[in-house]
Structure 1
Amino acid sequence: MSTVVADGVPAKIPPVASPVDEDPVKIASNISYHAHYSPHFSPFKFEPEQAFYATAESVRDRLIQQWNETYFHYHKLDPKQTYYLSMEYLQGRALTNAIGNLNVQGGYADALNKLGHELEEVVEQEKDAALGNGGLGRLASCFLDSMATLNLPAWGYGLRYRYGLFKQRIGKDGQEESAEDWLEKFSPWEIVRHDIVFPIRFFGQVEVQPNGARKWVGGEVLQALAYDVPIPGYKTKNTNSLRLWEAKAVSEDINLFEFNDGQYETAAILHSRAQQICAVLYPGDATENGKLLRLKQQFFLCSASLQDIILRFKERKVGKGTRSWSEFPDKVAVQLNDTHPTLAIPELMRLLMDDEELGWDEAWEVTTKTIAYTNHTVLPEALEKWSQAVMWKLLPRHMEIIQEIDKRFIEMVKSTSPDLEHKLSSLCILDNNPQKPVVRMANLCVVSSHSVNGVAQLHSDILKAELFVDYVSIWPTKFQNKTNGITPRRWLKFCSPELSQIITKWLKTDEWVTNLDLLVNLRKFADNEELQAEWKSAKLANKKRLAQYILRVTGVDIDPNSLFDIQVKRIHEYKRQLLNILGVIYKYKKLKEMSDEERKNTTPRTVMIGGKAFATYTNAKRIVKLVNDVGAVVNTDPQVNNYLKVVFVPNYNVSVAEMLIPGSELSQHISTAGMEASGTSNMKFALNGCLIIGTLDGANVEIREEIGEQNFFLFGATADQVPKLRTEREKGLFKADPRFEEAKKFIRSGAFGSYDYNPLLDSLEGDTGYGRGDYFLVGHDFPGYMEAQTKVDEAYKDSKRWTKMSILSTAGSGKFSSDRTISQYAKEIWNIKDCPVP
C-alpha cells in the first residue's frame, strides 16, 4: 500500500475511469478517478467521508449501465409495468446493499484497502435517506428490492423530502426533534432528470368549455422535477427506479420589480411554497394550513407520477400503430400503498377526461382496472378523512369528480343491493354531516379499485368481517390477503454475515438468499451440537458489536452475556411500549427487594427500547421520557445493575436496526390484538434467530404457525375478545392485577424522578373522564405478559434449548420473504411477468 499521497489519494493508484471492471486494482483506480474528477471536497484529503462519496459514485457507474440497459429493455419489449405509489420509503444506507446485490463486496473491500481504508469504516459515513418513518416505508423499500431481484418491470414513486420526519435526540425533557440532515451535502445515489418535469396545479377554478367539457384553470402552478435512485436486483442485471419528485417554481415566478423594491418574501412566494411541499414527511395537520400542505404533498405525488406514467405509455407505442386507451390497464398497474395516494383516482379520471377527452364511462373503466389499494390499518385516525371545504379549495375539479363517483356508487347500490340502502350513510365516499363534512379516502379507494388487500391473514379477515364487510357483499372477489415480507438480502445476508455463512455452510448452498423456503432444511440440524456452537458464537459476535454501539451512542455499558431483549418500532399506545416498561419497573422493584443470593439466581437482562414518537403525540412522548427515566435509575443502581439494564436507543432508523436485529435474542411484539395490521420487524427478528414474545396480532399469528408454538412466548387477549373486554372495562367490571397496581404506584411514588406521569398513568384507569380508560388493555394483559416473561427467563437458563429454539425460528421464516409477497402481487393483482435483461 502506498503511503505517498497526491491530491489526497495514494499516489500508486492512478485515477482511471473503469466503471464496470471487477479487478480490485481497477476498482481502486475508478474510486481514485471520482476523487479527482468528481470532486466535492478540497483535493488535499482522502479521509473516510471523501472515500465514501468517491466509492458510492464508483458503484453508481455500474448501476447506471445496468439501469440504462433495463430501461431500454422495458422500452423495447413494452411489458405491463407496475408503479408503486408510496408517501414513504425507508431505504437505509445504499452502499452495502448495492455492492452486495452486485456481488462485488470482496472487490470493493480490497480496493479500499489499497486506498488506505476499510470498507466497514467507509460504509459508516453514509447517512440514511430520510424518506420514511416506519413499517409502511420499510415495506415499500423491501418490495422494491424484490421487484428488481425477481426481474419484474416495476418502479416506485415517492417524494424527495429535504428534512424527513425528524432526527430524534434525548434530552432531560425526553424526546427532542430536529431536522434530518441527510441532504446537508448531497446524495451520491440520485440522478436529477432535468428533462422530466411536469406542471402541478393547486387552487383555481373549473371552467366550462364551449363544447361542454370542463377544465381546471387558474390557481398556482408548480413544477415536479424527477430525481431517480437506482434499485438493483440481487445477482441480476435488472436495475429498477425509485423516482422521487421535488417541487420547484419556474424562474419567471420571481417578481424582480417586487424584489428590487425590497419585498423579497413576496417576490419569491411561489418558490417558498414549492420548498414547503417537499420539506418534511407528514407535516402537522392541526391547522388549515397544515391540512393544505399534507394534501398538497399527496396530490403532488399522484399528479406527477400519473403524468409520467401516461407519457411513458404514449412513448412506448411508437412503431406499434395506434394504441387505444382501453390498452392502458394492459400496460399499467398502479398500487396505492395505503390511503395517502388516494388522489391518484380522481387525478387519473381528470387526466383522461379533461386532457385526453375520454368520456366518463371509458375513463372510469380504465381507472378501476388500473388502480389497486393496499390497506395497512384498522385504526380510525389512520383511515384518512379530509375536510370537503379544504378539498374544494385546493382541488375543485377533483371534488367534482369525487362527487360524481359517489353519486354513481349510491345509484348502483340502490339498484343492485337494495338491502344495503340503509347503510349508505357509512358506505358512501362523502360524509355530508353538516357539522364536519369530509371525504372518506378509504371508501374512495375501495369503491374505485379493482383489488383491495390486507397485509396479514388476521388483518385481511378483520377487513372483510368488520371494516369493509358491506363492500364485500357487493364485490366478494375484490378483497385479498397478501401477507407482508422482508428482503433476506438486507435483513440477513448483509446485516449478519457470520450467521449467513453458517446457514450457507449447513445448507450447502447460498440459494436460500433468493429462495427463503430452503431455510426449513435447518430443522434437521437443530439439535446438532456443532451447529449450536457455531450459532451461539455468531449471535455472541453480533451482541458484542451491538454492545459497542450502545456504549458509543448512549454511554451505557451493557453485558453481552445478558439476555438482549429489544422492542424497536414507532412509539404508539397500541404498540404498548408502556406495557413493556411497566413490566421492567415491576421487575426492578422485585430485584430491589431480593437478597444478593436470590438475585444471583435470576436471568440477567438488558432491555432496549427505541422508536420515534410523533412530535404532537403527547402520551407517546411521555412513554419515551419514562423509559429514559427508568434507565437513568436502574443503570446506576449498584444493587441491581448487574442483573438489569434499561436503554432507550435514540434516533431509530434502518442502519440502527441492522445493528440491533442481529444482536437480539428476545423481541417484543406486544400490540393489542387486532390493531397491528402486520408488522415486519417481527419477521426480521425471527429470521435472525430471535425469539418473540407477543400477542396473536398481525403477522405474529402466521409467524407462530411457521416457527412452531413452542418457540413463541404467547400471551394476551385475542382480537375477538377485545371488544367485549373494552365494554367490561368501561362498565367498571375490570379488576386489576395487584402487580399492575404496584408498578403504577411505584412510578407515582417519584422513584424515577419528579416528572408528572399522572396523565399517562390515568390513561390506564377505568374511569378517567378521558372516555376510554385503558383502551389498549394494558391492565388486562399485564398478568399474562409477566407470566410469559417468567417462561422466557426459565428458557434462557437452558442454553441448549434456547439455541435450538433460535435455530428453529430462522428455519421457520421462509414464508416471510418479500420475494414471495411480490410474486403473489405480480400474479394475483398486477398480472405482470418477469422481464429479465439479457
Structure 2
Amino acid sequence: MTSTIDPSTIGKAKSRRHIRTLTGYTAETDAAGKEKWPIGDEKVWKEGIPPVTTEVPQITKSVVHHVHTSLARQAYNLDNLGAYQATAMSTRDNLLANWNETQLHYNRKAPKRAYYLSLEFLMGRTLDNALLNLGLKQQYGDGTQKLGFNLEDLIEQERDAGLGNGGLGRLAACYLDSSASQELPVWGYGLRYKYGIFQQLISPDGSQLEAPDPWLEHDNPWELARSDVTYHIRFYGYAERLEGGRALWQGGQEVLAMAYDVMIPGYATKNTNNLRLWESKPKRGFDLQSFNAGDYERAVEASNSAEAITSVLYPNDHTTFGKELRLKQQYFWTAASLADIMRRFKNTGKDVSEFPDYVAIQLNDTHPTLAIPELMRMLVDEEELPWDKAWEIVCNTFFFTNHTVLPEALEKWPVGLMENLLPRHMQIIYDIVSVWAFLQAVEKKFPGDKDRLARMSLIEEGFPKNVRMANLACIGSRKVNGVAELHSELVRQTIMKDFVEFYGVSKFSNVTNGITPRRWLDQCNPGLSNLISETLKVPKATFLKDLYKLEGLLEHVDDPAFQKRWAAVKQSNKERLAQHIESTLGLKVNTRAMFDVQIKRLHEYKRQTMNIMGVIHRYLTLKDMTPEQRTKVNPKVVFFAGKAAPGYYIAKLTIRLIVNVARIINEDPETKDLLSLYFLPDYCVSLAEVLIPASDISQHISTAGTEASGTSNMKFCLNGGLLVGTVDGANIEIAEEVGESNVFFFGNLTPAVEDLRYQHMYHPVPIEQKCPPLARVINEVAEGRFGDGGVYEPLLNTIRQNDYYLLTEDFDSYIKALELVDQAYQDRTEWIKKSIRTSAKMGKFSSDRAIMDYAQEYWNLEQTSVG
C-alpha cells in the first residue's frame, strides 16, 4: 500500500475515487473507519484555515484587508459601495469557513442528500441575512462604525439577486434557509440569469416598461465561480437506437455548463449548505477563421447562442425562438444538475442501484420535469442498466410539487420542438408509454375507458401534439404534493383525479408552504423581533428556531403597556416605508392612515383588478359624501406592487389603470387626505421587507380555488397585519390558526365557482343588474375619468363579457368586507389585540416546519449536525 501520493496525480484527479483508479491507492482507516489521506502535512492544512472572525478588532482588520487586497483601494477614496464590497467579502470569509467544514462533514458521513430543483430562487439581499444567521450583525455594525461607515447604509448598496420573480422563487429561498438551519443536507440547483427577469419602469402614460436588470453590474461577492465544475450539454443532433433499449445521441450543438456556488448559512448552527447555479458558455467561443475572413457576426454566433440560454428568466415564449429558448433553459439546467448529482453520488463508491438510498430530488413545479427522462438516459445509455431497473430508480428518486390547478398553467411542449431539440428524450418519453406499458396498465384497470386513456397519456393529441409535463412528473415521481390543504385536495379531485384513481391516494399528499422567520420577522422587522424577545424574556433564537413559541404573546394581549409598544413598532414601520417612498419617488405618505397592501405578481386570478375597482368605488363614495360625513371616515393609503409578464397584455393594462387612478385621486383636494394610492415599481424582496411590516391589512383575494397557497399572506400575518381574503389557498389554514374573528373573509366558495362560470357563459346577466356598484365603476373608467377610457376596453371586457374570475359575483361581498375593516379599525385597542393574536398563532407557517415535513415524510432525510 502506498503511503503518499504524487501531487501531480492529485491535480489530474476529479475525486478520491478517481485517485484510487489512477494510482491503485488504498487509504488507511482510523478506528471509526474514516479514511486517512496523507496528502501533504494535515496539520499544516488545518492551521492554514482562518478562524471565524467574531471580534470587532478582527472584523475591522478583515474589512481593511479586503479594501487593500481585494479592491485595491485606500481609505481616502472608499465610498459606501466599496465599503459594502469589502464588508461582504469579510463576511464571506466566515461563511466559507463554515461551508468548507460542512462539505467535508457531508463527504465523510455520506448521508442521504436532497436536491431542490427550482427555476427560480428569489434570494433577496445576502449581507444582512448572512450576518443575522452567523450571529455577527452587532459586531459588524460596530466594526464598520469604527471605519466611518453605517452598516445599514452598506446593506442598502446591495442589489437584489435577479434569480426569481414571484412566490415560487421565494418559497425555494425560504426552504434553503430552513434546510441549513434545520441541519439537513440539502442543495439547491438553479440558473445564473445574467439579467434576471427585468427591471420594471413606469412610462409617463402609466404603462409598464421592461429594461434589463443589471444585477451583476458589479462583482457579486456572494458567489464562487467554479471553473473546475463544468459539463457538456447537448442539443439537437440525432439519437441512434442500439440494443437493449439504449441509444447513442450525437451531433448537434454542445454548450458548456459552468457552476457558481452561493453559500446558504443556517441560523445558530455551523451548517452551511449550497445553492449551485449554472451559467451557459460556448464550448468554442470565438471563430477566428470567420473573423479573419471578415464575417464578424459568424465569429461570435456560437458564443451568443450559448450565452443566451442563461441571459434572462422566463424569455417571452409567444415566439418560436422564445419557446425553444425556454425549453433549452430547462434541459440545460436539469442535465447539468443531474450530471453533478451523479458525480457526487459516484464519489461515495456506491453502486448505482443504491442511487435512491442516497439521493432525493424535489421538482419544484413542472419546470424541472425533463430531469426524469434525463436520468433515464443516463442510467440506460451511460450506466447500461436494464430499462425496468432504471425506471424503478427514477420513480424512487423524484418527488413533485404542484403549484397550480389552472389547466392553462400546466406546462406542455410541442412534440415537434422536443424531437428537434432533444431527440433522445422524445424517444424515452415514447418508451415510458410503450416499454413500461403505462397506458396498457391503465387500460387493464379501466377497460374501455378511452377518454381516461387520452387524459392520462403523456402525449396530448391535436395540432400540434404536445408533451404533458405534469403527467410525466406525476408518473415519474414517488410522491406528488400540493402546497396547502385545499389546493392538495383540489389536485386530487381535478387535474390529478385520474392518476389518484390509478395509483391510489397515498401517492398524493400535502405540505403547506412556509416562510423563514429569520428574514420575514427578525431581518425585516427588528423592532417587533426585539419587542417579542423582551416580552417573552427569551433570546431571539428561541422563537426564530421554533415559531410556535410566539404563542407566549397571547398572555400579554390585554396588557395596555404591551399594546402601546406593539402599536409604536407598527407606526415606526409605517414611517420607514413613508421615508423610502419619499426618497425614491418624491411622494409624501400619510403615516397616520390605515395601510392597505397588495403585493403580488400581476395576474387576472389574483384579482388586482378587483382591488383597484374597490379603490375607485371608495373614491366615488367619498366624492358623494358631504364634508361632515367625510370627517367620520378612516384615512386610508393603498399600496400596489408587482410585475406583469412582458407578454401579458391584460395584466399590464391593470398596472396602467392603477397608476392613472393614483394620479387623479392623490391630487383631489376633497379626498386626498382620506384616500391615496401608490404603485411602487420594480417590486423585489428588499422592497417587500419594507412594505410588509408597515401593513395594517393585506389583500389576498384570488378567485376561490385558484391560488395554490400564497406565502405573502403568511409574511403579513407574522408581522401583525390582518388578512382580507377569499376562502382560498393558505388563507383557510391561517384563519384556522388565528381564528376567523381576526380575518376578513368574503366571496364565493370553491364548490360554487364552476357553476357560476357556467351561468356566466350560458345565462349571462347584465352587470348593471347583477352588481350596480361595479357597473358604476366600470362606466367611470370607460368614460375617461382616469384618462383615455378606450385604452382600458380590453380589461373592462374581461369583466363585462365572460368574467371568468368572477369579479361581478364577489364585488359586493368584497366591499362589505372592507366596510367591516373600517369598523374594526375604529376601535384601535381591539385592532391591536387582533394584530397580536395573529402574529402569535403563526407558528405553523414556518418553513422550518415545512422542510421537516419533506425531510421526514418524503425524502427520508436525517439531520446531520456539523457541530
- TM class, shorter-length: over 0.9
Aligned twin of 1:242: 275
Q: SS state of the match for residue 418, structure 1? A: coil
C-alpha displacement at 1:418, in angstroms? 2.8
1:106-185 correspondence runs (5 A): 106-173=138-205, 174-185=207-218
C-alpha displacement at 1:259, in angstroms? 1.1
Q: SS state of the match for residue 747, structure 1? A: helix
Aligned twin of 2:10: none
Q: Distance in 2 between matches of 1:211 and 1:819?
A: 45
Q: Distance in 1 between matches of 2:687 and 2:675?
A: 22
Aligned twin of 1:730: 761
2:265 to 232, 247, 260: 232
Aligned twin of 1:26: 58
Identity of aligned residues (%): 48
1:155-554 correspondence runs (5 A): 155-173=187-205, 174-209=207-242, 213-251=246-284, 253-317=285-349, 323-407=350-434, 408-418=437-447, 420-433=449-462, 435-476=463-504, 477-509=506-538, 510=540, 511-554=542-585
Answer yes or no: is 1:746 the counterpart of 2:780.
Answer: yes
For structure 1, which segment, 748-757 or 814-823, has the greater mean C-alpha deviation from structure 2 after superposition? 748-757
Q: Distance in 1 between matches of 2:73 and 2:251?
A: 45
Aligned twin of 1:638: 669
C-alpha displacement at 1:524, in angstroms? 2.1
Q: Distance in 1 between matches of 2:80 and 2:787?
A: 42
Q: SS state of the match for residue 514, structure 2? A: coil
Question: In the alignment, is the contact (CA less than 8 A) between 1:132 and 1:165 conserved in 2?
Answer: yes
C-alpha displacement at 1:806, in angstroms? 0.3
- Alignment deviations for residues 12-32 of structure 1 (CA, whole Å, 9 cap, x no partner): xxxxx9762211121011001
Q: Distance in 2 between matches of 1:191 and 1:41?
A: 22
C-alpha displacement at 1:256, in angstroms? 1.3
Question: In the alignment, is the contact (CA less than 8 A) between 1:19 and 1:58 conserved in 2?
Answer: no
C-alpha displacement at 1:729, in angstroms? 1.3
Q: Which blocks of at least 5 consecutive residues in structure 1 are unaligned? A: 1-16, 318-322, 767-772
| 2:777 maps to amino acid | A
| 1:642 maps to amino acid | D
Aligned twin of 1:563: 594
| 2:809 maps to amino acid | H
Q: SS state of the match for residue 662, structure 1? A: helix
Aligned twin of 1:770: none
Q: Distance in 1 between matches of 2:177 and 2:194?
A: 23
2:799 to 759, 764, 767: 764
C-alpha displacement at 1:376, in angstroms? 0.3
Normalised by the size of structure 2, how large is the TM-score?
0.92
Aligned twin of 1:798: 827
C-alpha displacement at 1:406, in angstroms? 2.0
Q: Distance in 2 between matches of 1:217 and 1:293?
A: 20
Q: SS state of the match for residue 297, structure 2? A: helix
Question: In the alignment, is the contact (CA less than 8 A) between 1:18 and 1:26 conserved in 2?
Answer: no
Change (3 A) 1:332 1:178: same
Q: Distance in 2 between matches of 1:373 and 1:279?
A: 27
Aligned twin of 1:820: 849
Aligned twin of 2:16: none
Aligned twin of 1:706: 737
| 1:375 maps to amino acid | N
Q: SS state of the match for residue 111, structure 1? A: helix
Q: Distance in 2 between matches of 1:212 and 1:703?
A: 50
Aligned twin of 1:12: none
Q: Distance in 1 between matches of 2:630 and 2:668?
A: 14
C-alpha displacement at 1:42, in angstroms? 7.7
| 2:176 maps to amino acid | L
Q: Distance in 2 between matches of 1:32 and 1:70?
A: 27
- Alignment deviations for residues 332-351 of structure 1 (CA, whole Å, 9 cap, x no partner): 00000000000000000001
2:108 to 76, 79, 88: 76
Question: In the alignment, is the contact (CA less than 8 A) between 1:87 and 1:158 conserved in 2?
Answer: yes
1:786 to 769, 794, 815: 815
Q: Distance in 2 between matches of 1:107 and 1:132?
A: 31
- Alignment deviations for residues 158-189 of structure 1 (CA, whole Å, 9 cap, x no partner): 00000011000111231111000110112100
| 1:580 maps to amino acid | N
Change (3 A) 1:732 1:553: farther
C-alpha displacement at 1:263, in angstroms? 1.0
Aligned length, in residue pairs: 809
For structure 1, which segment, 374-383 or 80-89, has the greater mean C-alpha deviation from structure 2 after superposition? 374-383
Aligned twin of 1:50: 82
Aligned twin of 1:320: none
- Alignment deviations for residues 184-221 of structure 1 (CA, whole Å, 9 cap, x no partner): 11210000111110010000001245887411100011
Aligned twin of 1:4: none
Q: SS state of the match for residue 751, structure 2? A: coil
Aligned twin of 2:68: 36
Aligned twin of 2:836: 807
Normalised by the size of structure 1, how large is the TM-score?
0.95
Q: SS state of the match for residue 721, structure 1? A: helix
1:623-634 correspondence runs (5 A): 623-634=654-665
- Alignment deviations for residues 678-716 of structure 1 (CA, whole Å, 9 cap, x no partner): 000000000000001000011001001111000000100
C-alpha displacement at 1:553, in angstroms? 2.2
C-alpha displacement at 1:420, in angstroms? 4.8
Q: Distance in 2 between matches of 1:225 and 1:166?
A: 23
Q: Distance in 1 between matches of 2:316 and 2:183?
A: 39
- Alignment deviations for residues 777-834 of structure 1 (CA, whole Å, 9 cap, x no partner): 0111000000000000111111001000000110111100000000000001100000
For structure 1, which segment, 733-742 or 327-336, has the greater mean C-alpha deviation from structure 2 after superposition? 733-742
Q: Distance in 2 between matches of 1:763 and 1:151?
A: 49
Q: SS state of the match for residue 607, structure 1? A: strand
Question: In the alignment, is the contact (CA less than 8 A) between 2:407 and 2:495 conserved in 1?
Answer: no
Aligned twin of 1:92: 124
| 1:271 maps to amino acid | S
Change (3 A) 1:139 1:728: same
